[in-house]
Amino acid sequence: MSHLATEVEVLRRVPLFQGLDPPKLKLLAFTASAMRFRPQEVIFRQGSPSDSAYVILAGEAAVEIDTPAGAIEIARLGETDFVGEIGVLADVPRSATVRAMSDLKTLRIGKECLIEHLQHFPSMSLVMLREIAMRLNRTTAELARQRAEAES
Amino acid sequence: MAEPIYRYVWRHTRRQQIWMLCVVLASIPTLYVSLDLPKQIINGPIQGEGFENADATLAVLRLALPGFLTGGEGVELFGGFQLDRMEALFALSSLFLALVVLNGGFKFYLNIYKGRLGERMLRRLRFEMVDRLLRFPQKQFRSLRSPEVASMIKDELEPVGGFIGDAIVQPLYLMSQVLTAMIFIFVQSVPLGLVALGVTLVQAVVIPKMRQRLLVLGRQRQLTARHLSGRIGEIIDGITSVHTNDTSNYERASISKELGTIFLIRFDIYRWKFFVKFLNNFLSQATPFIFYMFGGYFAIRGSLDIGQLVAVIAAYRELPAPLKDLIDWDLARLDVAVKYDQVVQQFDVADIAPETLQAPTAGPVPRLTGDFDLNDVSLADELGSQLLDGVSLILPLGQRVAAVGAVGQGAEYLAEILARLSLPSGGEVRLAGQPLSGYPESVTGRRLAYTDAAPFYPQSTLRDALLYPLKRYPTRTESREASRRERLARMETEVSGNSTLDPRDDWIDYDAVGAATEQALGREIAAVLRIVQLDSDVQRFGLRTRIPTEYQSRVADPILRARRAFRSLLAREGMEGYVEPFDPDRFLVNASILENIVFGVSRMGDMEAAWTLMGGHARAVIGEAGLREPLFAIGREIAETMIDIFGDLEPGSPLLRRIVIMRSDELDDYRQILMRTEGRALTEMAEADRVALFRLALNYIEPRHRLGLVDAALQARIIEARRLFQRNATPDVTSAVAFYEGGAFNPFATIQDNVLFGRISEEFAGATERVEERLLQTLDELGLSELVQKAGLSFEIGSGAKRLSLGQQQKLSLARAILKSPDYLIANRSLSVLDAETQGQIIAATLERAREAKRPFGTFWVVNVSDHAALFDRTVRFRNGRTVEEPAAEPLADERPAQVA
């Protein structure tokens, strides 16, 4: 069983929410719903509508992509990882499938709820914007490195 | 119907009015005699006139024809009884009493008779207005404000109905009373008669003049009040735009302005009314002064005897009441005539449909064959722009046609024309060889089906909403003639010219559905619900509903079997963790503290209401189990946390909606309660504060609210409270709650609670869907799905179907269009809020049904997604109000998006 207090503890360590003051995290946690998944259960499936984002509170999950050759695992997620937010923000279908690899505890933040938070707390939007920009920066750098490798 | 009110009254109540006149005429002699008797009593037995000799007698009840009738001496008809002085006093007084009773009797009879006549006419008028409303042309409804029309029929007609009883007889009756009294006074004394006449004339002339002003004001008041009710209606209908635009203060200001206007008018009325009253009272009370003075003078001079004086004063006292009533009547007449004209004008609409178009039609209407033949049809809106421009089409009734085109290109207007919801401004539409406009609604309403994107549902059950289109004429009537009340009700319905069809009969047209019995109808409904993909929704509603009473005895055993089967199914699939079973010795994590203590279901369906009813017992149990302090602490903790989390949000923030455990407007109340109760013992707090905090605690559900407030020790105490609650249950409690008992069927619990006998865990993702699916599967295997559907159909959809999603409402609209087995289905973008894939599936399933040989139907289906046109026999494309040759070579550029949020 998870409690608001422990959930706030985890949220505080989520990079996307770094720098948000505790009352806002508490509000976010309370308006989200706690959701448990069993091992091998699918949290969301590639191609389905993005209706919510998840914060992993405890346990492990795998990110899989469907290919003609079958599903390929491309990443592992653990405590404090935030997943599904890009689909919600960009309003595009899920780009990958996420599957629980152990008993998985999450906080599910509905699309509307997340957007209401962002609208209400500009500081939150700013933090998220910075984090996503950093990710883009890393991805671009990675892409450049890969290209350079491929060319040489 | 635009006839003057008197002609209308005369047309409908001629016989009754004449009968009342006869009664009035019959009442005049008794009135006259009753005025004359006091004089005889005073002059005769009391003053001793005619009793000068000790053994003198008086002839009482002597009847004679007056001399002027017979020429010379009067002819005696009856000699009367010879009585001595005392006997005469008693006899005359008794006669006076008898006449008073008789006069009262006449009045009573007339009033009742008029009242009944008025009520009947009110009923007739109201019915006629609604009848006309039902026949209004469609375009009329665009400019109607529903609260205004409703208030016209409800409030404004009321005085009209009341007046009709009085319309003719009242003035004549009152006049007869006034004249009788006046003539009587003149007969006694001409000078006093002149005085009475003068004062009466002043009253009759001056006061109505002054009341004219009142009438004008009254009309203004009515107009402003009607406007106010229209404005309030607009606020309610437009509440979303008020909230989303912060215009509530503008609305407040405009209402305040309206109320100000009404106030001034009302106050003006008030002043005039009491001034008129003052004058009236003064005149009628000052006149006796003249009688005492001049009457006394004449009496002393001997030209008037005491009996006459007393009789004149008594007669004059009879005058003001009828006179005032007469003036009131005249005002009412003017007022009512105005009201009547206003209302009648509103309902006197040009091109109203003739009655024959909607004549009740029993029995089946033959199928339509042939086609819709549109010849150069065009449609222009009020501003004159062409919505449809010369469309010529032949749509065979057996053909499934898809209409494709972006919104506003014409397809939806043509759909409305086919459904006769709008009339073409040019061209001709023929159905099966005859002009479409000539068909009665019994043909178009039964053989054609229409569904659009914004269906409206009144408050009803799902079943009633689904079967509504089948209610055209009673198919099975029940005989209710037995009771006197029923016979009376029926007679009154007939004399008021109302519809004599009885809505309590069974109106469902089983033949149209192709179902002979109730059960067959259930199967047909199931099939249609599957087509529109509403079946699992209905089944899920059913799970959350009690089993209908008439099935309870039969299904108790199967339900218990289902409970066992479901348990083993859960175990087989490793899903036991999803359900927390009802166990009297175990705390239910997924239920509120209240539910944990009561451990049963409210017999009246609402647990909070039941709880209030059990107040005393509940308090005792909570105290005994030592829960008082902990619950209070929990309540405080919840309130504090909510204020901590939500207290800083500005009012109106959408995040405030997510408080769930209390309403957002209660935050401030709780803030104050916390301040008031800070550091106080429970006994020192106000009762209301205690109750408010307990309420929070009792509704707390740990996995949902996650404040970590329920530990093992508290759980143990709650279990103890549960035991005490049940063991010491008073009769009040047992009549309010049906406790859960292992191995027993609980008729007050929902189907789900009975089969599940536990709570679905809120903790696990997808638990609810999975468990419900298994539940339905189990119920189906045991042959109970029919029952679940039946229970689901008893779901109350709420006013305007607010308890259904828009998608469900659209599906329901299509379902009922299919259920009535039409010859032709006109679907006007009817599934717009569903995703494209679901729309496609439902269209395909509907078309499959349309191709069944048993009851085929054609379609004119304005599709939202042009790809779906491929499912149909033929495609008609619309652009700029014209049809485009098919198949269209080019794809439509501005196709409406498949999914509308």
Q: What is the DSSP string of B376-413?
A: EEEEE-TT--EEEEEEEEEEETT-EEEEE--TTSSHHH
Identify which of B507, B503, B514 has the alpha carbon closest to the alpha carbon of residue B470.
B507
Of residues A3, A23, A38, nearest to B706 (C-beta) = A3
User: Chain A interface, mutation test: which of B667, B706, B760, most A Cβ atoms within 10 Å?
Assistant: B706
Identify which of B150, B35, B151 has the alpha carbon closest to the alpha carbon of residue B103.
B35
Burial tier of B215 (Cβ tally within 10 Å: 0-12, 13-18, 19+): middle
DSSP run (H or E) holding B472: strand B471-476
- The whole-angstrom separation of Cα A122 and Cα B568 is 52
- The whole-angstrom separation of Cα B631 and Cα B608 is 17
DSSP run (H or E) holding B673: helix B667-677
A contacts of B706 (beta carbons < 8 Å): 1-4, 7, 29-30, 34
B contacts of A4 (beta carbons < 8 Å): 641, 706-708
Burial tier of B14 (Cβ tally within 10 Å: 0-12, 13-18, 19+): exposed
- The whole-angstrom separation of Cα B104 and Cα B543 is 65
Tell me which chain A residue has its CA closest to the CA of residue B657. A31
- The whole-angstrom separation of Cα B585 and Cα B608 is 23
Q: What is the mean pLDDT of residues B523-527?
A: 92
Residue type, B589: V
Q: What pLDDT score does B379 carry?
A: 92
Least confident of B64-73, B333-342, B430-439: B64-73
Full residue range of the structural domain in which residue A62 is found: 4-151
**B291 and B408 both lie in a single domain:** no
**B537 lies in some domain:** no
DSSP B873: S
pLDDT above 50 (res B479): yes
What length does chain B have?
901
Of residues A4, A31, A37, nearest to B655 (C-beta) = A31
DSSP run (H or E) holding B313: helix B306-318
The CA distance from A20 to the nearest CA of chain B, in Å, is: 14
Identify which of B579, B541, B359 has the alpha carbon closest to the alpha carbon of residue B462.
B541
B588-627 confidence digits (pLDDT tens): 989 999 889 888 888 877 777 777 767 778 888 888 888 8
Least confident of A143-152, B51-60, B316-325, B404-413: B51-60
Q: What pLDDT score does B348 carry?
A: 84
A75-133 confidence digits (pLDDT tens): 999 998 999 988 888 878 888 999 999 999 999 998 888 888 888 888 888 888 888 88
Q: What pLDDT score does B2 carry?
A: 63
Q: Among all chains, which residue has been given the structure tokens 């099966």?
A: B432
Q: What is the mean pLDDT of residues B417-425?
A: 89
**B93 and B141 both lie in a single domain:** yes
Contact across the interface for A36 and B706, Cβ inside 8 Å:
no
Q: What is the mean pLDDT of residues B878-890?
A: 71
Tell me which chain B residue has its CA closest to the CA of residue A108. B765
Contact across the interface for A116 and B703, Cβ inside 8 Å:
no
B contacts of A120 (beta carbons < 8 Å): 649, 653-655
- The whole-angstrom separation of Cα B501 and Cα B479 is 12
Q: What pLDDT score does B892 carry?
A: 43
- CB-based contacts of A73, cutoff 8 Å, min separation 6: A62, A63, A64
The CA distance from A55 to the nearest CA of chain B, in Å, is: 14
Contact across the interface for B653 and A120, Cβ inside 8 Å:
yes
Pairing mode, strands B400-404 and B874-879 = parallel
Q: What is the mean pLDDT of residues B854-861?
A: 92
**B300 and B406 both lie in a single domain:** no
- CB-based contacts of A80, cutoff 8 Å, min separation 6: A10, A13, A14, A15, A55, A56
- CATH number, domain with residue B244: 1.20.1560.10
**B742 lies in some domain:** no
Phi, psi of B506 (to 5 degrees): -85, 115
B53-71 confidence digits (pLDDT tens): 656 666 666 655 554 555 5
pLDDT above 80 (res A147): yes
Identify which of B343, B332, B356 has the alpha carbon closest to the alpha carbon of residue B2.
B343
Of residues B641, B654, B707, nearest to A116 (C-beta) = B654
Contact across the interface for A23 and B648, Cβ inside 8 Å:
yes
Pull the structure tokens for residue B309.
Answer: 């004086």
B819-831 confidence digits (pLDDT tens): 989 999 999 999 9
Three state DSSP letters for B722-783: HHHHHHCCCHHHHHHEEECCCCCCCCCCEHHHHHHCEEECCCECCHHHHHHHHHHHHHHHCC
**B148 and B288 both lie in a single domain:** yes
Q: What is the number of structural domains in chain A?
A: 1
- From B287, B312, B347, give the residue that closes a domain: B347
What length does chain A have?
152
Q: Is B189 helix (H, G, I), strand (E, B) or coil?
A: coil
Q: What is the mean pLDDT of residues A39-53?
A: 88
Of residues A26, A34, A36, nearest to B645 (C-beta) = A26
User: Chain A interface, mutation test: which of B643, B655, B705, B768, most A Cβ atoms within 10 Å?
Assistant: B655
B contacts of A99 (beta carbons < 8 Å): none
Of residues B646, B653, B703, nearest to A1 (C-beta) = B703
User: Chain A interface, mutation test: which of B573, B658, B700, most A Cβ atoms within 10 Å?
Assistant: B658
- CB-based contacts of B232, cutoff 8 Å, min separation 6: B147, B255
Full residue range of the structural domain in which residue B664 is found: 606-711+722-730
Residue type, B203: Q
Contact across the interface for A41 and B766, Cβ inside 8 Å:
yes
**B332 and B447 both lie in a single domain:** no
Give the count of Cβ contacts less than 8 A between chain A and B: 58
Least confident of B1-10, B78-87, B259-268, B574-583: B78-87
User: Chain B interface, mutation test: which of A2, A36, A111, most B Cβ atoms within 10 Å?
Assistant: A36
B771-816 confidence digits (pLDDT tens): 988 888 888 888 888 888 988 998 888 888 888 888 999 999 999 9
ipTM of the complex: 0.86
Structural contact between residues A86 and A51, judged by C-beta atoms closer than 8 angstroms = no
pLDDT above 80 (res B885): no
Chain A positions with Cβ closer than 8 Å to B: 1-5, 7, 23, 26-27, 29-31, 33-38, 41, 43, 106, 108, 113, 116-117, 120
Q: What pLDDT score does B57 carry?
A: 66
Structural contact between residues B845 and B818, judged by C-beta atoms closer than 8 angstroms = no
For residue B117, CA distances in Å to B181, B304, B484 come to 28, 46, 20
Q: Positive or negative, the Cα torsion across B628, B669, B239, A111?
A: negative
Q: Is B477 helix (H, G, I), strand (E, B) or coil?
A: coil
**B596 lies in some domain:** no
**B162 lies in some domain:** yes
B217-238 confidence digits (pLDDT tens): 888 888 888 888 888 888 888 8
DSSP assignment of B110-147 equals HHHHHHHHHHHHHHHHHHHHHHHHHHS-GGGGGG--HH
**B327 and B418 both lie in a single domain:** no
- CATH number, domain with residue B431: 3.40.50.300
Contact across the interface for A31 and B658, Cβ inside 8 Å:
yes
Q: What is the number of structural domains in chain B?
A: 3
- CB-based contacts of A46, cutoff 8 Å, min separation 6: A64, A65, A66, A93, A94, A95, A96, A97
Contact across the interface for B655 and A26, Cβ inside 8 Å:
no
Q: Give the neighbor-by-neighbor strand order of the sheet with A82-83.
A: A33-37, A104-110, A52-58, A82-83
**B635 lies in some domain:** yes
- CATH number, domain with residue A138: 2.60.120.10
First to last CA, chain B: 47
Structural contact between residues B719 and B779, judged by C-beta atoms closer than 8 angstroms = no
Contact across the interface for A36 and B654, Cβ inside 8 Å:
no
**B337 and B420 both lie in a single domain:** no
**B134 lies in some domain:** yes
**B291 and B251 both lie in a single domain:** yes
Q: What pLDDT score does B61 carry?
A: 61
Pairing mode, strands A70-77 and B63-65 = unpaired
**B502 lies in some domain:** no
The CA distance from B579 to the nearest CA of chain A, in Å, is: 14
Of B84-88, B206-210, B293-297, which has the strongest mean pLDDT? B293-297
Identify which of B476, B521, B432 has the alpha carbon closest to the alpha carbon of residue B816.
B521
Structural contact between residues B220 and B267, judged by C-beta atoms closer than 8 angstroms = no
Q: What pLDDT score does B901 carry?
A: 36
Residue type, B416: E
Model confidence band, residue B78 (pLDDT cutoffs 50, 70, 90): low
Phi, psi of B574 (to 5 degrees): 65, 35
Tell me which chain B residue has its CA closest to the CA of residue A36. B764
Of residues A23, A30, A36, nearest to B763 (C-beta) = A36
**B197 and B109 both lie in a single domain:** yes
**B665 and B703 both lie in a single domain:** yes
**B248 and B393 both lie in a single domain:** no
Burial tier of B11 (Cβ tally within 10 Å: 0-12, 13-18, 19+): exposed
Model confidence band, residue B127 (pLDDT cutoffs 50, 70, 90): very high
Pull the structure tokens for residue B45.
Answer: 């037995």
- CB-based contacts of B361, cutoff 8 Å, min separation 6: B440, B442, B472, B473
**B411 and B294 both lie in a single domain:** no
Contact across the interface for B706 and A34, Cβ inside 8 Å:
yes
**B558 lies in some domain:** no
Q: What pLDDT score does B165 carry?
A: 80
